[in-house]
Chains A and B, each alone.
Chain A
Amino acid sequence: MNHEQGKTKGYRPPHSPPEENRLLESCLQQNLDVLRRVAQNTSDLVIREFEVSGIAAALVLCEGMFSLVAAGQNVLAPLSTLRLRHATPQKLLEAVRNNLLLAVDQGEIFTVGEVYRFIMSGFGVLLIDGVNCGVRLALQGFSFRSVSEPSGEVNLRGSREGFTEPLRINMSLIRRRIKSPSLKFELLTLGTQSKTDAFLVYLTDAVSSDLLQRVKSDLKKVNLEQVLDTGYLQPFLERRRPLSFFSGIGITERPDTACAKISEGRVVLLLDGTPMALVLPYLFSEHFQSFDDYALRPYYALFIRCLKYLAFFMTILLPGTYVAVGTFHPQLLPRELLYNITASMQPTPFSLMTEALLIHFFYEVMREAGLRLPRPVGHAVSIAGGLVIGDVAVKAGLIGTPLVLVVALTAISAFVVPTLYEPVTVLRFLFILAGGFWGLFGIGLGFALVLCNLCALTAGQVPVTAPGSPLRLYSMRDMLFRQSWAKLGQQVMEVNQVPGSRPPTPKEGSS
């Protein structure tokens, strides 16, 4: 629905109903009527009306979003025992404002829209008859997943904490690690209907103002009704020029990784309801780095990084190269291997390219099925898939045995750099086609163009291939080889110092 509407030229998302901008009145019943009308009598709107020293008041809440204990003990109990002499609405408000400690986060709000937004975020709002404002009280008590180790970014050493869904908890996970006053959380609200809270997190003394302006101006262009995940925002932040399989935006679930990126002058975007934080800008070489690299000895970090680069190239190029060599350049293979491949291919009815495409297609189907199915069933699918590919398909004469080895190697290698899984999968198929049609020339040309495309990509004015190209040796100290902390710690390398970074042109800046 969103996409369909979004395609229409000149589309503007529906504005908030005018009643949401309406100021609160002095009359309690009138305010409650408007609230019920705005909420369209939704079942989860809880309105508890009561009297305090003879003055009518109401606590407005959202079912399931607040803590019953906190509401009862901290708000209703003190208010029900409150006795004011010559009570007036203003005196009651003064008492709530100055004498009663109903909640740690407490303040006044003035519009119907604010009341609605706060109660939907788990706050309670106290409305008093005769007062034209409400008092918001932090009573959040919704259930959420606890802080746990992120399954997608497991490390041997370092913290076991990962981001979770509630935004405030993620905020605290970062704040606990960077206690500097220059760490700033900037609150944004995204989505015209969902009104999702988001935080831009950065160090004011490290971030480039151009980068910050760019991110803010991109986020202003988000004209979606619902923002349910950071993936919704990524296209707005990427400004896809040129079209590319790769992205200049990173994703992390780890607060320690996010903090490291923030300290390098990057901007991290946290969104309520998702543990996936966006990191801008994100260089290509960072896909091959992990938090473990900085905890382990530098020589081992170098070894692991080399391994990751090799695995990345292998997973993209190996099937295509196998098809190319087997089809067009058999002279490149050692004689014994060539005989084996020829013997294994003889009973199969398909060309090497078709075999490779089929087997990779089957593999992706099984992987996807294993991923989405309930875990016990997923394991069964994996085992059945393994048997089908590894044994039955070969025996049935559908594929040759060496291709099974190629698929297995390719599949395992793809998980060495999990953040690049999406481009890797699609590129693998493209390289099989290129190798099948044009041999090594196709592989070479395709590879050159993929690298050209990658080199053309910039993330917030920083070339994603930096600091490898454009080259600066000093910036290379943490690309392939990681220098020891004694040297790395001498000066923090900020992302806007990466070679090739440039301020936006006036045209880009104004857009």
Chain B
Amino acid sequence: MNSLRSQKLIDDRQLLMLLFLGRMFSMMTYSPGKEAVPGTVTLAAQPLALLAEAALLLPAFWVLRRCKQDDLLGAVYRKNRFAGHFCAVAAMLVCQLESARTITVQTDFLTGTIYRLPNRMGLLLALWAGILYAVWLGLESFARLSMGVFVVFVFLEGALAVQALPHIDLINLHNPLEQGFVPILQGAALSVGRCGELAAALLLIPAVRGKAIKQTAVSALLWTLSTAFVSFLVLTALGNFAALRSFPVYALALAGGEGAVFGRLDALMLLVWIFLAVIRGGMFQWLAARCVFLISGRGKAFCIAASGAGSLLMAVFSHRLGQGWESPLLWGICLLSVAVGIPLLATLFPHGGKKP
């Protein structure tokens, strides 16, 4: 049975877990030193980011309601076949980019922070192959896995908080409005721009049983709270040191050292991060494979291989882009093309065509 066809494969709680954990993967790469705005401003911008995310999803939900269906790409296909293909290709590229970003970020973290002797390509290929295997097993496999990972992640956050508690110093927090309101807007835009999970939520809805929109909203609320919480811990416990580290959340886990209450949290964090990479990479890769299926109508193996090959190429050649790969502009455009572009096309075309 081809699990890429439109079927209700997962329930709404699993959608919540997938989106939340996917976002948490990105959160763990948060580094105040690399941001255009100070860490305190990013922290203050989180509520605004949540509102912006909700605003971004509204047009798509409106279009789905108007079309009386739950499949955004299907809605475009029903209006116009060529537009459908165009949107599916765009969505596929976005998902492949997100999957490739997951792979490269994880590989960079491993080769930059964990291993003394970097073997980037070997690790990259292993992670890519692992993600493809998870996709081959189906969306249900890593959606079910996400439930357990969520429990471990919550434990990890709690342990991080307990470990960071003695080091928290509120003097490290600055007034976010020192430079006016514009940096906060900028921080919110940066936060939303990196939130590929919004695109994933829109594309996953056809595969979800139950109240997908409600759980997407709950997920957004959860990840905002979690991001704010971890950012607060990083900023207050590590202070200026956080800005010097590439992966300050990992540095926070290391901060306890051997004598910490929970021992070496860094090993647990490494393990959880790998799980998050498989879940996030798998989610986007599955969506990319589904887009290939919509375009080509071919079998599961072909769709996964084709979408996987694209992600691998993007991941391998990502370093050619240099800083561009990390650019919020790139990821912002990706998000807008799915969250705004596709709903726009769905409303522009008169009724015609049919779903492949």
Q: Report which A residues bind B (CB closer than 8 A).
A: 242, 328-329, 332, 334-335, 438-445, 447-449, 451-453, 455-456, 463, 465, 468-471, 500, 505, 507-508
Contacts and interface: CB of A to CB of B under 8 A. Distances in A.
A468 B145 CA distance: 10
Given A332-B266, A440-B271, A448-B145, 6 more contacts: A448-B134, A449-B278, A451-B148, A452-B141, A452-B282, A465-B144
Interface stretch (B53-61, B125-133, B169-177): B125-133
B137 interface: yes
29 contacts: A242-B136, A328-B114, A329-B267, A332-B264, A332-B266, A332-B267, A334-B258, A438-B123, A438-B126, A440-B271, A441-B126, A441-B274, A442-B126, A448-B145, A448-B275, A448-B278, A449-B133, A449-B134, A452-B137, A452-B142, A456-B137, A456-B138, A456-B140, A468-B147, A469-B144, A469-B147, A500-B11, A500-B144, A507-B1
Contacts of B144: 455-456, 463, 465, 469-470, 500
Contact of A469 (B1, B110, B148): B148
A449 B142 CA distance: 9
Contacts of B122: 438
A329 B270 CA distance: 12
Interface string B129-172: 01001101110111111111000000000000000000000000
A469 B126 contact: no
Interface string B221-257: 0000000000000000000000000000000000000
B145 A440 contact: no
Contacts of A334: 258
Contact of B141 (A329, A456, A508): A456
A78 to B, nearest CB: 62
B13 interface: yes
- 8 closest A-B pairs by CB: A444-B274, A456-B141, A469-B147, A455-B144, A456-B137, A469-B144, A448-B278, A452-B141
Nearest to B259: A334
A468 B149 CA distance: 12
Contact of A441 (B11, B13, B114, B146): B114
Contacts of B148: 451, 468-469
B204 to A, nearest CB: 16
Contact of B114 (A329, A448, A453, A505): A329
A442 B274 CA distance: 9
Nearest to A434: B126
Contact of A508 (B1, B114, B115, B138): B1
- Interface residues on chain B, size class: 35 or more
A243 to B, nearest CB: 10
Contacts of B143: 455
A449 B282 CA distance: 11
A262 to B, nearest CB: 27
A343 B142 CA distance: 42
Contacts of B31: none
B307 interface: no
A440 B126 contact: no
Interface of B: 1, 11, 13-14, 110, 114-115, 122-123, 126-127, 130, 133-134, 136-138, 140-148, 258, 264, 266-267, 270-271, 273-275, 278, 282
A469 B142 CA distance: 10
A447 B142 CA distance: 12
B147 A441 contact: no
Nearest to A324: B267
A281 B146 CA distance: 23
A449 to B, nearest CB: 5
Given A451-B148, A452-B134, A505-B1, A444 B271 contact: yes
A499 B110 CA distance: 37
A455 B130 contact: no
B147 A471 contact: yes
Nearest to A448: B278
Contact of A444 (B11, B266, B275): B275
Contacts of B138: 456
A449 B267 contact: no
Contacts of B264: 332
A469 B149 CA distance: 11
A445 B274 contact: yes
Contacts of B273: 444
Nearest to B140: A456
B137 A445 contact: no
Nearest to B109: A441
A451 B272 CA distance: 13
A450 to B, nearest CB: 10
Contact of B130 (A445, A463, A468, A471): A445
A455 B126 contact: no
Contacts of A456: 137-138, 140-141, 144
Given A452-B133, A452-B145, A444 B270 contact: yes
A442 B275 CA distance: 12
A449 B132 CA distance: 10
A406 to B, nearest CB: 17
A439 B134 contact: no
A455 B13 contact: no
Contacts of B258: 334-335
A505 B147 CA distance: 25
A455 B115 contact: no
A38 to B, nearest CB: 45
Nearest to A325: B267
Contacts of A470: 11, 13-14, 144, 147
Nearest to B138: A456
A471 B14 CA distance: 9
A480 to B, nearest CB: 11
A445 B278 contact: yes
Contacts of B126: 438, 441-442, 445
A439 B115 contact: yes
B229 to A, nearest CB: 23
Contacts of B110: 441
A470 B266 CA distance: 29
Contacts of A505: 1
Contacts of A329: 114, 267
Contacts of B267: 329, 332, 440
Contacts of B137: 242, 452-453, 455-456
Contacts of B134: 448-449, 452
A447 B271 contact: yes
Contacts of A441: 110, 114-115, 123, 126, 270, 274
Chain B CB within 10 Å, residue with most, of A329, A334, A441: A441
B102 to A, nearest CB: 13
Contacts of B142: 452, 455
Name, among A442, A443, A448, the residue most crowded by chain B CB atoms within 10 Å (CB to CB): A448
A505 B8 CA distance: 12
A463 B114 CA distance: 36
A306 B275 CA distance: 22
Contacts of B141: 452-453, 455-456
Nearest to A244: B137
Nearest to B273: A444
A448 B147 contact: no
Contacts of B14: 469-470
Nearest to B278: A448
Q: Which of A335, A463, A469, A508 has most chain B Cβ within 10 Å?
A: A469
A438 B130 CA distance: 13
Contacts of B123: 438, 441
A109 to B, nearest CB: 45
B145 A451 contact: yes
Residue with the greatest number of chain B CB neighbours at <10 A, chosen from A334, A451, A452, A469: A452
A468 B146 CA distance: 11
Contact of B140 (A438, A439, A449, A463): A463
